[in-house]
Structure 1
Amino acid sequence: MKKHKLPKIYGKSIRYLLICITGIVCFAVLGIYPNQKTVTSLDNDTAKLETEIREQELLKPLYDDLLRRTRTKVPADLPFPEKGRLDRTKTDDIPEILGSMAHKSSLQLVDVTLDLNTLVKGSQSLSVDVRLNGGFLAFRDFLIQLQGIPYVNEIEEVEIQPADGVKEFRLKLALALK
């Protein structure tokens, strides 16, 4: 059997070999490894987005239901009466008026409080605190009806709080007086 002799590797060839191996290692370290980190980061981002998409798919029926509920018809003619003033002798009718408006709007009138200090001082405005219970859309209808009262100057405060499965609405109204 013949033995094969390996050729002698000369000094320059070894240098070239080392330079090529160094180049390949540098390419792997500088080119492939950072890209691998980027790919891992993109995989994590993709997983987060897939989770968000699943959450959105779960919430879509709820969103569609809320959207359907809010698509109620907006009154074509919103009330914009000429502004007027309430006669001081008719301030006793305010709770009845607000109660009938609440009933028409499917709200429950809890309390109506007139600030009698404004009546005594001879002020041109009467402060009224109103508390109602009911749903959001019914409250919207109540506010539309409230806009139709000519002696309502402004709604000074609106406070909405959850209470026993419904919402509690608190309004502070300023009514114009004669």
Structure 2
Amino acid sequence: MDGIHRQQHSSRQAFIVGGVFLAVICLYALFFIYPSYRLVSRTRQAVVEQTAKIDRLKILYPVLARSKTLEQNPFEHLLPFPDRIRIHRDALSQLSGKIFDTANHNQLTLFESDFDINSLKNDSRFASITVKLKGELFDFRRFLIDIIALDFFDSIENLSISSHKGPIKEFNVTLNIKIKKNGS
């Protein structure tokens, strides 16, 4: 019986040693292998994110290169207007024709143009003309650019846009024109 008891004792002792060994392996895995696994997992995720970021940057790089070249060019804050001259009062009669031609050139319909008589009576250096047009907004934009390019143009005093059905709109604009004083 003594042999059976020793055999049970050594079997129990082997079982305890095996359990302790298994517990040590589990603790080793818990404290050393699992954190390494999590670190590898995070590293893989970071690599995927960085790869996606690099792909986006590859797409944006030409834009960056273009902006760098544009950054080197000096930027003028003013539009390049031509030198302004004053037209003679006798030439005002031809002004309506120029405005009409400019409107037609930009696919606009000029249906009214009126000079401000008061600006012509006194000794003013400017003449005002009110112009009413019909057409599309982008055509009107081109019209304004062409009018501003005239060398005797001074300023726009009043501008209104009336919307109608569809793309056709009515435009009302008052233009100031530089004119020579009487006797000069």
What TM-score range do you get, normalising by the shorter chain?
Answer: 0.5 to 0.7
Aligned to 1:131: 132
Q: List structure 1 runs of 4+ shifted beyond 6 angstroms.
A: none
Superposition deviation, residue 79 in structure 1: 6.6
Aligned to 1:35: none
Q: Which moved more, 1:156-165 or 1:112-121?
A: 156-165
Q: How many angstroms apart in 1 are the aligned matches of 2:146 and 2:119?
A: 24
Q: How many angstroms apart in 2 are the aligned matches of 1:104 and 1:120?
A: 32
The residue matched to 2:94 in structure 1 has which SS?
helix
Superposition deviation, residue 80 in structure 1: 2.1
Identity of aligned residues (%): 31
Superposition deviation, residue 163 in structure 1: 3.4
Q: Greater helix percent: which structure?
A: 2
Aligned to 1:167: 169
Aligned to 1:89: 90
Q: Is the 8 A contact 1:79 1:144 kept in 2?
A: no
Deviations 1:107-155 (A, max 9, x none): 0001110011111112111011000000011001101101111111100
Counterpart of 1:159, as a letter, is S
Q: Is the 8 A contact 1:79 1:147 kept in 2?
A: no
Task: Give the TM-score normalised by the residue count of structure 2.
Answer: 0.52
The residue matched to 1:150 in structure 2 has which SS?
coil
The residue matched to 2:154 in structure 1 has which SS?
strand
Aligned alpha-carbon RMSD (Å): 1.4
Q: Is the 8 A contact 1:79 1:145 kept in 2?
A: no
Structure 1: 5+ residue runs without aligned partners?
1-77
The residue matched to 1:128 in structure 2 has which SS?
strand
